[in-house]
């Protein structure tokens, strides 16, 4: 996906098919509709850290291709508001980490101008943040009013019993078989947040390919032990 002047590559695993859908059916349906050009309201996506907000915005851009652009302000906010210039030329503008710039006058003015440009162009704005729009700390009244008109979706946080299924879905997307007992072992032996679990799965994928091994408990245990020894 070409990205104007933003040097960012989407993660190859950040697609709709690798996102655990239960509890987020309405959100996934809306994002797919936006990607297909059937939805014209955009939306605000919010949720806890590592709940999958960035995954979903990148999945939307992966599905929409060059009609879209992904801008994570957590990475690019230090570059200044000029990174917003020209974004409204895309049909779908996805801004991640929106709350990173809340309360900063220059950013709020630039975002309000972008909202107006997107509206005039008939494009769609999809944003992700840690809070709902009404709980956000934006101070420019016109901007907050514009943002609160977006349909709002909270990302469902995985329950304990759903974490293993989410890991297995991600593994299958990578062409890996993650047996039930190995998934449970991972949940017992590693950090519980999904970002850490997915990062560990990335490591296991590479090591399994290198060693030509299945994800058995002994193999996974050896990788975790070796990884811990180097951390």
Q: Note the pLDDT tens digit of each residue in 77-101.
A: 998 999 999 999 999 999 999 999 9
Q: Which helix (H) or strand (E) holds 106?
A: helix 105-121
Which pLDDT tens digit goes with each residue over 30-77?
999 999 998 778 999 999 988 999 999 999 999 999 999 999 999 999
* Burial of 160 from C-beta contacts in 10 A (0-12 / 13-18 / 19+): exposed
Length of the chain: 231
Least confident window among 15-19, 69-73, 121-125, 195-199: 195-199
CA distance 213 to 95: 39
Closest of 28, 37, 46, 39 to residue 148, by C-alpha: 46
Q: Which residue has the tokens 């990173």?
A: 100
The share of the chain scoring above pLDDT 90, in percent, equals 72
Which pLDDT tens digit goes with each residue over 129-186?
999 999 999 999 999 999 999 999 999 988 888 999 999 998 998 888 999 999 999 9
DSSP string, 30-83: HHHHHHTT---S-EEEE-STTSSHHHHHHHHHHHHGGGEEEEEHHHHGGG-GGG
Q: How many CB atoms lie within 10 A of CB 126?
A: 28
pLDDT of res. 4: 44
pLDDT of res. 10: 61
pLDDT, average across residues 12-31: 91
């Amino acid at each position: 996906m070409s990205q104007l002047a933003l040097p960012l590559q989407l993660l190859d695993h950040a697609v709709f098919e690798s996102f655990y859908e239960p509890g987020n059916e309405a959100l996934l349906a809306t994002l797919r509709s936006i990607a297909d050009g059937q939805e014209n309201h955009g939306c605000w996506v919010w949720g806890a850290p590592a709940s999958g907000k960035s995954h979903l915005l990148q999945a939307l851009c992966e599905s929409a291709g060059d009609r879209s652009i992904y801008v994570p302000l957590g990475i690019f906010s230090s570059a200044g508001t000029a990174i917003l210039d020209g974004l409204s030329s895309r049909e779908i503008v996805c801004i991640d980490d929106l709350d990173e710039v809340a309360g900063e006058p220059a950013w709020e003015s630039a975002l309000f101008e972008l909202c107006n440009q997107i509206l005039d162009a008939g494009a769609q704005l999809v944003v992700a943040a840690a809070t709902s729009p009404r709980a956000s700390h934006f101070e420019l009244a016109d901007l907050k009013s514009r943002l609160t008109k977006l349909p709002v979706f909270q990302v469902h946080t995985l329950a304990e019993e759903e974490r293993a299924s989410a890991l297995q879905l991600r593994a299958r997307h990578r062409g890996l078989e993650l047996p039930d007992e190995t998934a449970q072992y991972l949940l017992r032996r590693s950090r519980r947040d999904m970002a850490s679990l997915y990062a560990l799965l990335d490591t296991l994928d590479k090591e399994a390919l290198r060693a030509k091994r299945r994800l058995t408990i002994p193999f996974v245990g050896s990788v975790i032990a070796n990884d811990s020894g180097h951390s």
